[in-house]
Amino acid sequence: MELRQLRYFVTVVEEGGFTRAAARLHVAQPGVSAQIRQLERELGQPLLDRSSRSVRLTEAGEAVLPYARAALAAADAARHVVEEFTGLLRGRVTVGLFSAAATHDLDVVSVLADFHDDHPHVEITLTEDVSDRMLAALHRGELDVAMVGLTGEEPPPDIRLQVVIDEPLVAAVPPDDPLAGCGSVPLAALGDRTLISLPPGTGLRGVLDRAFAEAGIRPRVGFEAAAPHVLAQLAERGLGVAVLPAASAAGHGDRLRVLEIVRPRLRGRIALAWRADGPSGPAARAFLERLRKVMPAPETTGHRPVPSSPAGEP
């Protein structure tokens, strides 16, 4: 069994097929197929089901996959340790950002650029996605670190968090809306209104859906957008009640009236997330350490953020 065979196997699984895997590996597709068949012969079991258009793992493949990833991670870590002795930092860092991260005061891009300037041999990959999928990717080891929105539920036991933003969620309506003269609005009063919200899978939407479920109310979400400023613009045109972070609503002046959501009060929280055992490579660990140092501490009222813990602590 060779590391090359394991790397080809993991890449085919991640890419969902031999053609995309070969392109990512910069090798010919027949070579990828031959190496994986050799691995299957050595193990005595097929690892991939090739009967459909998309390649799927067999039961044996499901069992082998975590060990293959662990072996590759161990080999990479061994190389990185040797490189550290020579004063070189190499490796790969995979970073996830929630959609519309650029609209928040979280300059992750500058941290990435500065880190790349200091360590030009480190390969950095940046992915934008909804928070639910990024937390799952962290759990699977496909991301080293991610900036995610929190739903209010306890994080998975293998994930650690450092909350960087903690602010109220508010309702925003145009000046001629019946609610415009109110300073606050109970959640139940929004049950029969058309709502404008971030899409499912985001932290804000998770907080909202959970609150309505606990109140026994089925909300009517008529419009969804990934960026809070788009939610505000839709509300300005009278298309519904936008639910968004307080800071996102504050910049719309006389065009919107902002109402505190009460009974219950809702909060939107954004956190830096990583695996409890820490990133596997020194490059990713160094990037996480830098990111944790520069991320702002949240200013909160009435709600205590999830406590953070150092990278690598259980």
The tens digit of pLDDT for each residue in 64-98 reads 999 999 998 888 878 767 766 555 567 788 999 88
For residue 187, the one-letter residue type is L
Question: What is the C-alpha separation between 249 and 245, in angstroms, rounded?
Answer: 7
Q: What value, to the nearest 5°, has the Cα angle with vertex 102 and ends 99 and 108?
A: 100
Q: Average pLDDT, whole number, for the chain?
A: 84
Q: Lowest-pLDDT range, 36-45, 73-82, 89-98, 297-306?
A: 297-306
Rounded to an integer, the average pLDDT of 37-48 is 92
Instruction: Please report which helix (H) or strand (E) contains residue 104, including its range.
Output: none
Q: Is the pLDDT reported for residue 104 higher than 70?
A: no
For residue 193, the one-letter residue type is R
Architecture of the domain made up of 89-314: 3-Layer(aba) Sandwich (3.40)
DSSP 220-285: EEEEE-SSHHHHHHHHHTTS-EEEEEHHHHHTTGGG-EEEEEETTT-EEEEEEEEETT--SSHHHH
Contact status, residue 48 vs residue 12, Cβ threshold 8 Å: yes
Q: Which two tokens stand for residue 29?
A: 């597709």
Instruction: Please report which helix (H) or strand (E) contains residue 203, including its range.
Output: helix 203-215
Instruction: Please report which helix (H) or strand (E) contains residue 56, including its range.
Output: strand 56-57
The tens digit of pLDDT for each residue in 206-253 reads 999 999 999 999 999 999 998 888 999 999 999 999 999 888 887 777
The tens digit of pLDDT for each residue in 171-182 reads 999 999 999 888
**C-alpha radius of gyration, the chain, whole number:** 23
Contacts of 154 (CB under 8 A, 6+ apart): none
For the chain, give every residue range classified as CATH 3.40.190.290.
89-314
Q: Is the pLDDT reported for residue 299 higher than 80?
A: no
Instruction: Please report which helix (H) or strand (E) contains residue 81, including its range.
Output: helix 59-85
Cross-strand bridge partners of residue 260:
170, 184
Contact status, residue 169 vs residue 245, Cβ threshold 8 Å: yes
Q: What is the DSSP letter of 7?
A: H
Q: How many residues does the chain have?
A: 314
Q: Return the SS3 of 296.
A: coil
Task: Judge if pTM exceeds 0.85.
Answer: no
For domain 3-85, the question of CATH label 1.10.10.10 is answered with yes
Q: Which two tokens stand for residue 143?
A: 């991301």
Question: What is the C-alpha separation between 310 and 276, in angstroms, rounded?
Answer: 9
For the chain, give every residue range classified as CATH 1.10.10.10.
3-85
